[in-house]
Amino acid sequence: MSKYWSEITKSVEPYVCGEQPKDKKYVKLNTNESPYGPSPKVLDAIKNAANEDLRLYPDPNCDELSETIAKYYNLDKKQVFIGNGSDEVLAFAFLTFFNQDETIVFPDISYSFYPVYGNLYNIDYRLAKLKDDFSIPVDEFLTENGGVIIPNPNAPTGKQLELDSIKSILDNNPNKVVIIDEAYIDFGGTSAVGLIREYPNLLVVQTLSKSRSLAGIRVGFALGQEELIDGLNRIKNSFNSYTIDRVAAVAAVEAIKDEEYFKECTSRIIKTRGKVTEELGDLGFNVIPSKANFIFAGHPKYPAGELFVKLREKGILVRYFNKDRINNYLRISIGSEEEMEFFIEKVKEIIS
Amino acid sequence: MSKYWSEITKSVEPYVCGEQPKDKKYVKLNTNESPYGPSPKVLDAIKNAANEDLRLYPDPNCDELSETIAKYYNLDKKQVFIGNGSDEVLAFAFLTFFNQDETIVFPDISYSFYPVYGNLYNIDYRLAKLKDDFSIPVDEFLTENGGVIIPNPNAPTGKQLELDSIKSILDNNPNKVVIIDEAYIDFGGTSAVGLIREYPNLLVVQTLSKSRSLAGIRVGFALGQEELIDGLNRIKNSFNSYTIDRVAAVAAVEAIKDEEYFKECTSRIIKTRGKVTEELGDLGFNVIPSKANFIFAGHPKYPAGELFVKLREKGILVRYFNKDRINNYLRISIGSEEEMEFFIEKVKEIIS
């Protein structure tokens, strides 16, 4: 601890992201990236943007991108907020909607960045314990709270929460914001975007990092009624006016527009997920039914921590959380057809 | 005000950036962008980065860029922090080093984002009143405080603070961080980077938006001893792990490496600045001697507010701050040779 650090700097517990090793080439199934590159139209747009206009600041409001996203979701441009990855959107949302003296609620097994934001802003939080089958305990979100955040599908379990449950949470928190973090919604889940008209307290957060194959570009967004988006803009414009660069903005526009490519990629991932789920089941794994681009699986006989290490030795990275209740599970991102065949082959070698 | 906003959201006073109008083509001398495009090597690097690797997350530590900047300044990689524009670096620095219950100090006429950060984080600040000649009142920074931030050269005045004065401020604040914001240092100023070895409390912040012609790409950085950089990383990793996208990272590396192009552009701007300063002086303007890529000038007979409006009508945007003591000045970014000839021509039309 340095004497130059503020009290907040001393007290935070920074997020640790999935490893990005440089020592050798791995089959990377650890950070839920897409196995497929971005749309060719995205790459063309980036090349076209490599021109002398880069000397100029970008549009601080990302008008074109907001309009494109609004049109895609049948919303108004004023119902869209753009951020530098959905992590930044979430970081802004915690500060915009949650107060230090009110306790917010999120699942105990969930995206591990939520408690980090809570600590950063000194916002109290209560962990709602997932049921034994890893489903969201809806009742826990119906008591008094300072706001709610739930990933849907949840990570790292991949389990979906039904819209009816989301509605009852929204109904029971009319004065507090309910954030539905839909980072993984495009792999078969049902989005809450359709509820925005009805619920002024609903904020839906999405990202281009997974289903749009653009983790390397950093664009995420929030959708909600105008007063929520206005609030996010107040905080963002008190932090950094220009969060999205000119290249990222045009790349994101093309990624949203190329619906056909998007559907092709997500369909392939869903198909591969089905195949891997079945194959792991045949090998005796307990696989949680997933609506995301990853699966959460554990084997009754082979400890997940050991499998993690052995897979790594064989050139495959997956994610292992050494945490109560989930320490016998691995989170395995769905790679390409070939990568997953290789993965199953190596799993067989290890457990045979 | 929405009932969904946090107390902080209600109380912030967001920064308002220079206008980026879309209604017509202006000669844009209002946001201190470079009149010259980025290095051709930067554009090539961006085109090469438009490939399928964009499906993967970027390096969260920006190792290659940190190494490139470290090498350029003869520092260690661990003495470099990268952010999404220097505004983000400053936003992180306020939170990392300044405490809510201690009063920080910055000049009253200065970058107008500083009070916005203060309000965002509820950090008290005291404004040190610039002297009548707009120079920094060094004594005001030698009393007890919770930290200091000074732009050098200052904006919007363009005035430089000598290194000896910076040293005495550093010496007098051994337990508090002194941030020197060098957004405009590459246009003839003397950087404080050389003092980093000697002063563990010095943080120097720079940007690629001005002298490297990359306002559209959003990369800024901080330089300081390792414990300060560690602190910044703690806060950044509690906010957003991946702030710099893959394209921005390679663009920034090439921009730093292309020293020849950088020198050519900055020399031309310095030369044009000299010419414009002289011409405005001949027209009766009071021009503050500038070490930045803008000049701050006012005319005793023609109110700056009116000049601003008339220049706009004639297709030229400059920046006008309707604020005590500087409301008879315009901040004029240095454009290309042709743009500045056009500017002088229009000024002559207005005041003749």
Would you say B58 and A219 are in contact if contact means Cβ atoms under 8 Å apart? no
Which one of A54, A213, A215 has the shortest CB-CB distance to B216?
A54
Within chain B, which residues score under 70 in pLDDT? none
Whether A12 sits inside 8 A of B88 (CB atoms) is no
Q: Determine the Cα–Cα distance for residues B245 and B1; give it in Å rounded to an integer.
A: 34
User: How do residues A100-132 score in pLDDT, each as one tens digit?
Assistant: 999 999 999 999 999 999 999 999 999 999 999
Would you say B12 and A234 are in contact if contact means Cβ atoms under 8 Å apart? yes
Nearest CA in chain A to B61: A20
Whether A9 sits inside 8 A of B95 (CB atoms) is yes
The dihedral of CA B100, B101, B102, B104: what is its sign?
positive
pLDDT of residue B18: 75
User: How do residues A177-234 score in pLDDT, each as one tens digit?
Assistant: 999 999 999 999 999 999 999 999 999 999 999 999 999 999 999 999 999 999 999 9
CA distance A230 to chain B (A): 9
pLDDT of residue B22: 74
Q: Does A217 touch chain B (CB under 8 A)?
A: yes
Closest CA to A218 of A243, A242, A239: A243
pLDDT of residue A21: 77
pLDDT of residue B82: 98
pLDDT of residue B123: 97
Q: How far is CA B57 from CA A30, B19, B220, B241, in A?
A: 11, 33, 20, 10
User: How do residues A147-178 score in pLDDT, each as one tens digit?
Assistant: 999 999 999 999 999 999 999 999 999 999 99
Which residues of chain A are within 8 Å of residue B82 when distances are taken between CB atoms? none
pLDDT of residue A24: 74
Whether B245 sits inside 8 A of A216 (CB atoms) is yes
* Cα of B25 vs its chain's centroid, Å: 25
Whether A243 sits inside 8 A of B43 (CB atoms) is no
Whether B241 sits inside 8 A of A20 (CB atoms) is no
Whether B87 sits inside 8 A of A241 (CB atoms) is yes
Burial call A282-301: b when 16+ CB within 10 Å, e when fewer: ebebebbebbbbbbbbbbee
CA distance B310 to chain A (A): 23
CB atoms within 10 A of CB A281: 12
pLDDT of residue B24: 74
Q: Provide DSSP, B153-176.
A: S-TTT-----HHHHHHHHHH-TTS
To test the contact with chain A by mutation, choose from B1, B3, B6, B41 the residue with the greatest count of A C-beta atoms within 10 A, namely: B6
Q: Which helix (H) or strand (E) holds A83?
A: strand A80-83
Whether B56 sits inside 8 A of A215 (CB atoms) is yes
Q: How far is CA A257 from CA A40, A188, A261, A341, in A?
A: 12, 19, 9, 32
What is the strand order of the sheet B294-298 is part of?
Answer: B286-288, B294-298, B330-333, B319-320
CA distance A104 to chain B (A): 12
User: How do residues B39-90 score in pLDDT, each as one tens digit?
Assistant: 999 999 999 999 999 999 999 999 999 999 999 999 999 999 999 999 999 9
Q: Provide DSSP, A100-130.
A: TTS-EEEESSS-TTHHHHHHHHT--EEEEPP
Nearest CA in chain B to A174: B4
Nearest CA in chain B to A34: B55
* Cα of A238 vs its chain's centroid, Å: 25
Residues 256-285 of B with CB under 8 A from A: none
To test the contact with chain B by mutation, choose from A102, A205, A234 the residue with the greatest count of B C-beta atoms within 10 A, namely: A234
Q: Which helix (H) or strand (E) holds A203?
A: strand A202-207
Would you say B96 and B235 are in contact if contact means Cβ atoms under 8 Å apart? yes
pLDDT of residue A352 exceeding 90, the answer is no
- Tokens representing B137 are 């009142």
- Tokens representing B190 are 């003397």
Q: Which domains does chain A have, with CATH numbers?
A: 7-37+260-351 (3.90.1150.10), 40-258 (3.40.640.10)
Nearest CA in chain B to A6: B97
Q: Which residue has the tokens 């404080």?
A: B192
Which one of A12, A100, A117 has the shortest CB-CB distance to B234?
A12
CA distance A236 to chain B (A): 8
Q: Determine the Cα–Cα distance for residues B307 and B320; give it in Å rounded to an integer.
A: 9
* Residues paired with B105 in a beta bridge: B126, B148
Which residues of chain A are within 8 Å of residue B209 when distances are taken between CB atoms? 57
pLDDT of residue A20: 76
pLDDT of residue B84: 98
